[in-house]
Amino acid sequence: MINEQYLKIYFYRRLVQAKLFIDAHYADNIDLGNIADEAYFSKFHFIRQFKSIYRKTPHQYLIFVRIEKAMELLKTGVPVSEVCYAVGFESLSSFSALFKRIVGITPSTYLTQHQKIKVQIVKSPLNFIPACFAEKYGWLEK
Query: Which CA distances in Å does 110 have to 10, 18, 84, 129?
Result: 41, 30, 13, 22
CATH homologous superfamily for the domain 60-142: Homeodomain-like (1.10.10.60)
| pLDDT classification of 2: cutoffs 50, 70, 90 | low
135, pLDDT greater than 90: no
Closest C-alpha to 87, from 106, 72, 104: 72
- pLDDT band of residue 101 (cuts 50, 70, 90) is very high
Does residue 6 carry a pLDDT above 70?
Answer: no
Percent of the chain with pLDDT over 90: 53
In the predicted model, is pLDDT for residue 10 greater than 80?
no
Where do the structural domains in the chain lie, given as residue ranges? 1-55, 60-142
Question: Angle at CA 20, nearest 5°, toward 62 and 77?
Answer: 55
What pLDDT is recorded for position 137?
Answer: 83
Phi and psi at residue 87, in whole multiples of 5°? -100, 5
| CB of 20 closer than 8 Å to CB of 13 | no
**Residue 126 pLDDT exceeds 90:** no
**Is 24 a residue whose pLDDT tops 90?**
yes
Give per-residue burial for 65-88: e unless 16+ CB within 10 Å, then b.
bbbebbbebbeeeeebeebbeebb
